[in-house]
Structure 1
Amino acid sequence: MVGEAREPDSETGPLEGITVLDASQVLVGPFCTMQLADLGADVIKVERPGVGDQTRGWHPPQFGEGDEGVSAYYSSVNRNKRSITLNLKSEEGRELLRELARDADVFVENFRVGTLEEWGLGYEELSAENPDLVYCSLSGYGEWGPYAERPAYDLIMQAEGGFMSITGEEGGPPVRVGVAIADIGAGMYATQAILSALFHRERGGSGQKVDVSLFDGQVAWLSYMASYYFATGEPPGRMGSKHPTITPYQAFPTRDGYVVVAAASEKLWRNLCRALERADLLEDERFETNADRVEHREALEELLEAEFADRTTEEVVETLEAGDVPARAVHDVGDVFDHPQVEARGMHHEVPHPDVGSIEMAGSPMHLSGTPTTIRSHPPKLGEHTDEVLAELGYSADERERLREDQVV
């Protein structure tokens, strides 16, 4: 039945009972583990004492004021988790991680390749004590190949993985996509791989190693642009908002902004001409088929730009949508979170926070009818759950205090 995921009848996520040990930081790993947390997993975020995830210090902007403020960046990918502090440079801290890993279902890390193996925390060591463990390593280039040991950042990946060569205006400089798509893309692939490994384990298999890299993710995301190159032998270039094989399918300037028009089929092309009262374009041999329109792209763009230049964005959208042509205004982020569909789909949340009152964030796009995703708790304060997790391991209050005095936690 359409809409049956709208009002789920359970507060239990599909990953309830799954424990994820998250030794990652910044974006790729935390984005992956937040998805698992939204799906109901118990995610234990392991952080350095006194410092924590690097992004805790990435502000402004932040929620709240002064030292009690919370980094907006950190908040975006760390909800629904419990934070503990462990000094992994100490042997006792590493032993505590091993103890946690013995009972975990998933371990996620994005240390520089080889670091955890040097500390005796690699897949071989942890899986020897917990064969059911799904161990996910995230890195810039993966665990083998000539670049395996190089550090990586999203900007580097967007450049080296080809995305900046196809992003930006024709003839202009290369442009980075506005969000860190290399990190987020690899985080999504990691989540898929982890869920697949858990599914395999539940069907009678064992745990396994998962290796996901930012670079591989960028190469995979080239998708039809890669096929364009394979088919022609020519690397595609920057085209702004235009599409290499469909036109008109792009942004056009209006009197007061921009509108995007997606006439992605012959039917929609005919609808566009009729909506604009330009039946003459239907008789123009240059525009008869999509292939013709691509060949004569510049001439068509000039004609359409003239049609839109004296109209407001709202007028263009109303005219084209009335004619059954997909067209929308180009929104800024503020417009997005005022959008009625965002409200209807629950994609804007406000979560109480003990220090700053509340934190706003985007919701989860995964809607399940029986076991929904949930936003249950604020992005944790550094070490907020250290005592709680250590108590679950059986450590007494005196033992926990001794670990603090010894700077293990």
Structure 2
Amino acid sequence: MNAAQQRPLEGITVLDLTTALAGPYATLMLAGLGARVIKIENPSNPDTMRNNAPYLGRDGVTLQKAHDDDLSLSLLERGRNKLGVTLNLKSDEGRALFLDLARHADAIVENFSAGTADRLGIGYADVAKVNPKLVYTSISGFGADELGGQNRAMDTIVQALSGLMMTSGNVGEAPVRVGIPIGDLSAPLYATIGTLAALMQAQRTGEGQHVDVSLLGALTSVVACEQSDVMERIGRSTRTGNTLTRLAPFGVFAAVDGHVAICAPTDKFSSALFDAMGQPELGTDERFRTRDQRVRHADELHRMVEAWTSTVTTQAVVDVLSELGVPCGEVRTPGEAVRDPRILRRGETTRLEHPTYGAIDDVVVTGLPIRMSRAWTGFDRPAPQLGEHNQAIYAELLGLSDEQLVELSGRRVI
């Protein structure tokens, strides 16, 4: 990619009211696509992720902050390519300044608890009065319309309520939490898609709208793609463990030195797998001759596959199956996976640098896994310090003087 190329969202301004992970990840995607994302934080109570361990500083990565310029990896990762301002939205002057900013914006993204933005006087109805074309995206635990009862959500809560925890693991075992915050990462992807679609509609019609995405809805929608409850009704457990019986042979199998994933659901793939196993006759065995029969005898088939893989190395399995065209891959650690040269070259992951000390430790974080032939996408600016761009944004967009900024700062409005 060429940084001199135009960026897809150049000219789009987004006000970022988000904190923690789900919201900042959505605005990170928009920033990586070229939008001018202005991260707004309370000067006295900034985004909590600024205090998330681990930290990166002059000593490299540490679990506890030792120096004033040690910065949270969460901030360094999710704050890239954003501008940072401070603003006290609980004050009358702060709300007025925010609405002034909204007049110059194309979109707002927030992830307050449902109803909070309205109580602050900065909800969709408030900003639509000053900028009818503005797109207002809310990311919440259970939806912007769920104003009563339970309306706060953490990723683990959403994993539990979505049914996801009862799809992983084996029958009879305790629920299994997915190791990454998949709810906090899936909802912002839907929010980004919704924001972009609403921006396109606003450009066409001149009218903005409220985009409403919930963590529970997003993750439950993903869970529903697999129709686990239907499988349960026809005698299959919702718990799939390391294999997927409805696509047998399909799963993760032990090898001499690790584990390997093999996906051979079609007749062509399964026949090639049987050849690799040294048992080509299984292709005509009545138990495994057709796809439905392989599903019917999945447990037996998977035991036979592992009886073979457990006698050879992962590399040997991958080599022979790759030669035969069977989808397969070794099970890698996260550290190995994110440093795959192909992934780094494409910018799908990237090495993180401290804004002052540079590349002082080997830290690899998320990139932007979207490449375009006529536009540049990705991250080339570090996360902002708290209020770093106050002067630039308030002077440029709102025309405030240096004296006004000093006065507002002294009264903790900004």
TM-score range normalised by the length of the shorter chain:
over 0.9
Matched, 1:300 2:294: no
Amino acid of the residue matched to residue 26 of structure 2?
A: C
Structure 1 residue 127: Cα displacement: 0.5
Q: Match of 1:128, SS?
A: helix
* Partner of residue 400, structure 1: 405
Q: Deviations over 1:304-355 (max 9, x none)?
A: 1111112111111111111211111001112113323213323233455433
Q: TM-score, normalised by structure 2?
A: 0.92
Q: Is the 8 A contact 2:232 2:238 kept in 1?
A: no
Q: Matched residues in 2 for 1:272 and 1:254: separation?
A: 15
Structure 1 residue 243: Cα displacement: 1.6
Q: 50, 54, 57: which one pairs with 1:56?
A: 50
* Partner of residue 385, structure 1: 389
Q: Is the 8 A contact 1:48 1:86 kept in 2?
A: yes
Matched, 1:28 2:32: no
Q: Match of 2:226, SS?
A: helix
Alignment of 1:107-146 (within 5 A): 107-145=108-146
Alignment of 1:239-388 (within 5 A): 239-350=240-351, 352-358=353-359, 360-388=364-392
Amino acid of the residue matched to residue 33 of structure 1?
A: T
Amino acid of the residue matched to residue 321 of structure 2?
A: L
Structure 1 residue 153: Cα displacement: 0.7
Q: Is the 8 A contact 2:228 2:238 kept in 1?
A: no
Q: CA RMSD in A?
A: 2.1
Q: Matched residues in 2 for 1:212 and 1:249: separation?
A: 33
* Partner of residue 95, structure 2: 94
Matched, 1:213 2:207: no
Q: How many residues align?
A: 403
Amino acid of the residue matched to residue 394 of structure 2?
A: L
Q: Matched residues in 1 for 2:259 and 2:232: separation?
A: 33
Amino acid of the residue matched to residue 9 of structure 2?
A: L
* Partner of residue 3, structure 1: none
CA 1:224 to 1:62, structure 2 compared with 1: closer, same or farther past 3 Å?
same
Q: Matched residues in 1 for 2:286 and 2:128: separation?
A: 66
Q: Is the 8 A contact 1:140 1:148 kept in 2?
A: no
Structure 1 residue 186: Cα displacement: 0.8
Q: TM-score, normalised by structure 1?
A: 0.93
Q: Is the 8 A contact 1:9 1:369 kept in 2?
A: no
Q: Matched residues in 2 for 1:298 and 1:235: separation?
A: 11
Gaps of 5+ in 2: 60-65
Amino acid of the residue matched to residue 47 of structure 1?
A: E
Q: Sequence identity of aligned pairs in percent?
A: 37
Q: Matched residues in 2 for 1:101 and 1:220: separation?
A: 32
Q: Is the 8 A contact 1:261 1:328 kept in 2?
A: yes
